[in-house]
Amino acid sequence: MLELIDALELPEAVREDVRAVYGLIARAEGEAHGCEPGEVHFHEVGSLDAVADIAGASLLLRERHRAYEAQLSPDCRAACSACGAAALLEEGRCDG
């Protein structure tokens, strides 16, 4: 799971959030099943859509915090923030 998370094209702070969430899940599952967190098998929560949900929630919560602090988000046309959106576009660029 950590290899998958580390390979995500996301800001490091978001990857840290995702690692932390899966760390909590692993500890809880380990306690419930009597095994070490590193031995836990992520079933439903290990699917790519679950990882995307957690990463998306982290991105949105961070953006919300920035808004409450009256901080502007970076303009992607001026500098890429490595959010991964460009990979979804045919041209590979958000400002295309």
- State the Cα–Cα distance between residues 15 and 73, nearest whole angstrom: 18
Q: Name the residue type at position 26.
A: A
- State the Cα–Cα distance between residues 41 and 86, nearest whole angstrom: 32
The predicted-structure confidence for 13-47, as pLDDT tens digits, reads as follows: 999 999 999 999 999 989 998 999 888 888 777 77
- The pLDDT of 62-85, averaged and rounded, is 77
Question: 58 in helix, strand or coil?
Answer: helix
Task: Report pTM.
Answer: 0.70
